[in-house]
Structure 1
Amino acid sequence: MKKSITCLLATCALYPAVSFADIEIKPSNGVGILAINGKAVETKTFFSDLPELKAKNGTTQIVVEYTAEITESADDYVLEDSDTFVLTFKAADTTVRVQAPEISNRYDLKSFNRNADWRLLDDRGNPLSFTWGKLEKEGFQLGRDYEKELEEFNSTDTQAAVKSLNTETHSFNKSVPTSQPPSNVHPDQKMVGQMLEYWYEQASDETKNNFKNWLETGQ
């Protein structure tokens, strides 16, 4: 079985990669996408460009911030970040543009933080409805663990929470102690195969990939 799956994966590698992400997320100027569906987004570095921001069709949850240029004087301004928002929406086969109004003073920034004046538009310019909440952290804001914060957020009853994102997946590379049957007992291999097939079909894509990697490495 291990050899068959390895051969199948090798055969698939000969064909062009197929993208299962059906929604592309495009932030406007000043908008930062910090996480998508419970996973933190990598930021641009000296060695890498901005990552593609994509999600599957259906319900999508994003973490966003807006960086405003606050005017201090006629020729001086400072950058200030908005609160950290969680926006949850539904879309399919489209590009979702995430926009915020232009903000140049602290009064407008406070109003924005209070009212969540975000705009989500599809590729035809139609507005998308969304629910929202906030990730709130006291004190120093650098080095935040958005994945952990989202786990806590999604376990609440807030409208923008998506509890299914907290579904745990199994890691196959960790040894799990199991009770071994007596040596003279031989499991029904047909039943074992049926159970494997059933639970594989029930698994999430991430768990399936973990399982395939486990078969390949034998760990």
Structure 2
Amino acid sequence: MTFKHSLLQPFALVALFGFSASALASVTISVPSDVKVLAVNSEEPELSGGIFSSSKSVTLPDGENQIVFRYSPVFQQGGDQTTVNTDAIITKFTASNTELTLEVPEYRSADKAQDFDNNPAWKLVDEKGNAVDVQQDKLIKNGIQLGRQYDAESIAYNKKGGIAAIAPTGASVAAVSAANVQVPVNSQYKTTEEQMLHYWYDKADKETKQRFIQSIIQVK
């Protein structure tokens, strides 16, 4: 063994053990295929496993976490498939260095699965089969459901202080800060959104403004 290799070996071992410790110090949630994770700690979720996997998982830091999910079971009725899309559930829980499984009830028909909205009997269980204490609520949006931004809706929910609210962290802090920008009141704008649009446009440089105008033209 050369002197160079003898020096590298201890550092490699330290790095290996350090990585192993950091990998263990986290919370992993296994999610069944009929559950859609929509947001994690007010951010878009990063799930392991492919689209067609029977189960997926998400890794979270130790401590208090929040996830948004929807139970969407699929039923075969005759020659057709029916998917039940239940209300979005927002929940918080506290766990450390463990592997959890999100369990949902099994229904025999689409009609019975609709009962999930009235009685969301799901649970998080640890490796020993013990249920983890959770606080849950529904993330409701009236009107058109397409194109919902669950990360932004989670931020708004947390600001209101719902039962499943958590303190903003990471990227959500920046989003909250942006949402809290104080814009001078101007009566010429009909909505806050319109006022904010003009506010940020005026803040942009010349090139950004030009790209923005071009994108509007292309949409039209």
Number of the residue aligned with 1:149: 153
SS in 1 for 2:164: coil
Cα deviation digits, residues 52-96 of structure 1 (max 9, x gap): 5111111111111111124534x5431121111111111111111
Out of 153, 159, 163, which is 1:159 matched to?
163
> Which ranges in structure 2 are unaligned for 5 or more consecutive residues?
1-10, 176-220
Residues 51, 97 of structure 1: alpha-carbon distance in 2 compared, 3 angstrom cutoff: closer
Tell me the CA shift for residue 118 of structure 1.
0.9
Rate the CA distance shift 1:169–1:141 in 2: closer, same or farther, 3 A.
Answer: closer
2:72 is paired with a residue whose SS is strand
Aligned alpha-carbon RMSD (Å)? 3.3
Corresponding position of 1:115: 119
- Label 1:104 to 1:88 Cα distance change in 2 as closer, same or farther (>3 A): same
Task: Give the whole-Å Cα distance in 1 for the aligned partners of 2:71 and 2:41.
Answer: 19
Partner of residue 29 from structure 2, selected from 12, 22, 25: 25
Whichever residue aligns with residue 103 of structure 2, its letter is Q
CA 1:45–1:60: 2 relative to 1, 3 Å: closer
Give yes or no for the alignment of 1:132 onto 2:136. yes
Which position in structure 2 is the counterpart of 1:69? 74
Cα distance change of structure 1 residues 96 and 51 upon mapping to structure 2, 3 Å threshold: closer
- Is the CA contact (8 Å cut-off) linking 2:39 and 2:67 kept in structure 1? yes
Question: When the two structures are aligned, how many residues end up with a matched partner?
Answer: 157
Give the alignment partner of residue 54 of structure 1, picking from 56, 59, 64: 59
Q: In terms of mean alpha carbon deviation, does 160-169 or 62-71 score higher?
A: 160-169
Give distance in 2, aligned partners of 1:78 and 1:122.
Answer: 31
1:127 CA displacement: 0.8
Give the Cα–Cα distance (whole angstroms) in 2 for the partners of residues 150 and 90 of structure 1: 17
| TM-score normalized with structure 1 length | 0.60
2:84 matched to 1:80?
yes
Partner of 2:42: 38
Percent identity for Structure 1 against Structure 2: 25
User: Mean alpha-carbon deviation: is it higher for 30-39 or for 104-113?
Assistant: 104-113
Over 3 Å counting, the alpha-carbon distance change for 1:46 and 1:122 in structure 2 is: closer
Structure 1 unaligned spans of 5+: 1-10, 171-219
Higher share of residues assigned helix: 2
| TM-score for the superposition, normalised by structure 2 | 0.60
Q: SS in structure 2 opposite 1:40?
A: coil
Partner SS for 1:110: helix
Q: CA deviation at 1:43?
A: 6.6
Partner in structure 2 of residue 177 of structure 1: none
In the TM superposition, residue 46 of structure 1 has moved relative to its aligned partner by: 8.4
Q: Distance in 2 between matches of 1:130 and 1:39?
A: 19
Residues 47 and 58, structure 2, Cα contact 8 Å, conserved in 1 = no
Q: State the distance in 2 between where 1:45 and 1:96 align.
A: 16
